[in-house]
Structure 1
Amino acid sequence: MIVTLVLGTLIGYSLGVEAANFFTGMREQSLLSSPLRRVLSVMVISLIPGFGATFFFLYQSRMADVEAHAETLRRQAAETQLRLLESQLEPHMLFNTLANLRVLIGMDPARAQTMLDHLIAFLRATLAGSRAERHPLQDEFARIADYLALMQVRMGARLRFDFDLPETLADVTVPPLLLQPLVENAIKHGLEAHVGGGTLRVRAARDGDDLLLDVEDNGAGFDPSAVPTPGGGFGTTQVRERLAVACGPDARLEIRRREGGGTLARIRMPVPAPAPAA
């Protein structure tokens, strides 16, 4: 770079003097035939801005490379954390289901067999799709439906559920199993604790540039200000961490009591791009 600047200054100055002499008729001395003092003065005056501009753009380029590398490392760390959180969630859900199945085997073997069939179908679908970073919202709702079918075998008529997924949001992508912990909490804290059971509603809606995902029940209700029991709070903590990793600070989870009883858990996140066509 230094050689290029020096040669460029010498050649550029000399060509400039020759061009000026040609158009003006003057006989200005070229740099090569000028006194050494003049040569040094011209070189210093010319090279200072040249070196300054060179180092400025070199610094900018290196800073861009460093930032790109840091962003790659941040993305890799976020993806690793997301995989870890998913690996924690799947056994958590499975252990809960197996514990329920164990109780049901002694009480009603026929219903236990039906529940086991649902569990096999649910795990097959989960293992096939849970290794992706994101999947369409319609797939998320389908898995929730499989899981609720499992719970309905055990709870019977005490568990009712309905879904509201607009067609325009069906292909919007979300992290897999994002709603699973909220559905589990709604059953555990809301519907199972309620003598008459209740209805679980899972909804998706758009609010401007935000996607709203609601898990709502009309059961016993959950107090979000209550101190969690040891080992509790896994579901909501897991959802918040996954939102932070996958969507950044613009995504959040809100939990509040419903008027008339029950709980509403709402995820608010930026609307991501639809899943690419297969």
Structure 2
Amino acid sequence: MSDQTTATRTQRESGDFLPDLCAPQAVLLLVLVAELLALLLAMINRGLAQVSWEAVALFSFQVQWIVLVSAALLCRLKPRLNQWPPVRAGAISYGLVLTITLVFSLLGQWLMRAFLGQAPTLDAWQLGENLITAAILAGIGLRYLYLQQQLHNQQQAELQARIQALQSRIRPHFLFNSLNSIASLIASAPDRAERAVEDLSALFRASLAEPSLIPLERELELCRDYLAMEQLRLGERLQVQWQVDEQPDNAQIPALLLQPLLENAVFHGIEPLPEGGVIQIQIARSGDQLAIRIENPLPTAPVSHTQGPHSQAPQKAREHNRMALDNVRHRLQAHFGPTARLSEAGEGGRFILVISYPME
């Protein structure tokens, strides 16, 4: 692979070179900045005591055209800028702004003299002032935009790495437990074991996929596959009640967010009870928030005062449960920000988890 190809790939993978200057919010900001710059140039050129609206309008007309045309051309060049090395992309962007400044400065001088009925002549000093001013301001502005975009790229990369790390902690846990479930069925119920392998394959594909938001219905499908596999192992001891309100088609959720919570509900709420119990899943929409409620029995295990090898098992189980909940909480906040919530409570012999987050 050539050095140029490697540099191109590195630049493409690192993200955009400049922000999207054609976005409505960016255009509005550029217009406001250009207007403030025109006011500043009018004050410097005429002095505060002699500044007039005519002078501000004249500078504003020229500066707005330079800024907006530069932004439009940089937007058109954005795919190429993202492929070039940063030094080359920066030099081309800088040269483009200076070229546009030169063109509009010459055009402005010609229009002004034509409007006043004068012969078209070149004011080299005025042209030089415009180019020097543009060189300073363009250098500062492009450098600021570049650093701002690189910070955004870094934040996005860190966010994706964080989400991948959080999701990778889920995979071994539920996969090993699922394999144990299948192993317990092979000798006594091979047909059920085959069905469990099919359900596991769907979960396996989901766990190996890139961490992202998926449709809520797809996540519920995976959860049903998992619970069906556990019901093959636990039989009538595991009862599941679903209450899912009609959801909009664009409702999404981080992949494999609910499955580990249901796994904890089975492991900590159903398995310790000889008679089993009921897991309730309720999903409802409240305004622009999606609320998910999961309930399972809360066994009351006696406190062991022995110092044998199994005395630490309940404590380790609680720690694992806490780690799983913290994992889910961090993934929610990574995707949806601080407005996402995961709360837990024990009430009436039931353990209750409530998830709420904004629907995008």
Residue among 172, 176, 201 paired with 2:251: 172
Once superposed, what is the RMSD of the aligned Cα atoms? 3.7
For residue 173 of structure 2, what is the aligned residue in structure 1? 92
- The aligned counterpart of 1:262 is 350
TM score, norm. by length of structure 2:
0.57
Q: CA deviation at 1:136?
A: 1.2
- 2:200 is the counterpart of 1:123: yes
Counterpart position of 2:54: none
TM-score, reference length from structure 1:
0.72
Q: Does 1:206 align with 2:260?
A: no
Is 1:239 the counterpart of 2:328 in the alignment?
yes
| Equivalent residues of 1:199, 1:219 under 8 A apart | no
The residue correspondences of 1:73-84 to structure 2 (distance < 5 A) are: 73-84=154-165
Cα distance between partner residues in 2 of 1:60 and 1:221: 64
Find the aligned partners of 1:64 and 1:85 in 2 and give their Cα distance.
31
2:329–2:341 CA contact under 8 A, matched in 1:
yes
Q: Indicate how the Cα distance of structure 1 residues 75 and 11 shifts in structure 2: closer, same or farther if over 3 A, else same.
A: closer
The whole-number CA distance in structure 2 between the counterparts of 1:173 and 1:8 is 49
Rounded Cα–Cα distance in structure 1 between residues aligned with 2:101 and 2:357: 52
Residue 250 (structure 1) aligned with residue 339 (structure 2): yes
- Deviation string, structure 1 residues 24-49 (Cα, Å, up to 9, x no partner): xxxxxx998xxxxxx9xx86xx94x9
Q: For the residues of structure 1 that align with 2:103 and 2:166, how far apart are their CA atoms?
A: 59
Partner SS, residue 203 of structure 1: strand
Contact in 1 for aligned 2:101/2:134 (Cα 8 Å): no
Contact persistence 2:109–2:122 (CA under 8 A): yes
Q: Which amino acid is 1:193 matched to?
A: P
2:291 partner letter: L
Distance 1:59 1:165, change over 3 A: farther
Cα distance in 1 for partners of 2:206, 2:257 equals: 13
Q: Could you tell me which residue of structure 2 aligns to residue 184 of structure 1?
A: 263
The one-letter code of the counterpart of 1:181 is P
SS of 1:110's partner is coil
Q: Secondary structure at the match of 1:135?
A: strand
The one-character-per-residue Cα deviations of 1:185-224 (angstroms, maximum 9, x if unpaired) are 11122222234321111221112221112211234279xx
Distance 1:8 1:156, change over 3 A: closer
1:57, distance to aligned residue in structure 2 (A): 5.1
Pair 10,229 (structure 1): closer, same or farther in 2 beyond 3 Å: same
Distance 1:115 1:89, change over 3 A: farther
Report the Cα distance in structure 2 between the residues aligned to 1:185 and 1:218, rounded to whole angstroms: 11
- Against the structure 1 CA distance between its residues 256 and 55, is the aligned structure 2 distance closer, same or farther, given a 3 Å change threshold? farther
| Contact persistence 1:203–1:213 (CA under 8 A) | yes
Give distance in 2, aligned partners of 1:4 and 1:51: 13
Residue 93 (structure 1) shift: 0.2
DSSP 3-state at the match of 1:196: coil
Give the paired residue count: 247
Find the residue that maps to 2:338 and give its secondary structure: helix
Q: Deviations over 1:94-147 (max 9, x none)?
A: 112233444x35xx9324x34522331122222444415222111111111111
Higher relative contact order (CA 8 A, sep 6+): 1
Alpha-carbon offset, residue 178 of structure 1: 0.4
How far has the Cα of 1:271 moved from its partner? 0.5
Letter paired with 2:254:
P
Q: What SS does structure 2 have at the residue aligned with 1:62?
A: helix
The equivalent of 1:271 in structure 2 is 359
Name the % identity. Answer: 26
Distance 1:18 1:175, change over 3 A: closer
- Post-superposition, which runs of at least 4 consecutive aligned residues in structure 1 deviate over 6 A? 1-15
The change in CA–CA distance for 1:8 and 1:86 in structure 2 (over 3 A counts) is closer
Alignment partner of 1:250: what SS?
Answer: coil
CA deviations on 1:48-86 (whole Å, 9 max, x unpaired) are x98557634543333223222221222222223322332
Structure 1 residue ranges without an equivalent (≥5): 23-29, 33-38, 273-278
Separation in structure 2 between the aligned mates of residue 68 and residue 159 of structure 1, nearest angstrom: 51
- Distance change in 2, residues 1:163/1:10 (3 Å): closer
Task: Decide whether the 8 Å contact of 2:175 with 2:204 is kept in 1.
Answer: no
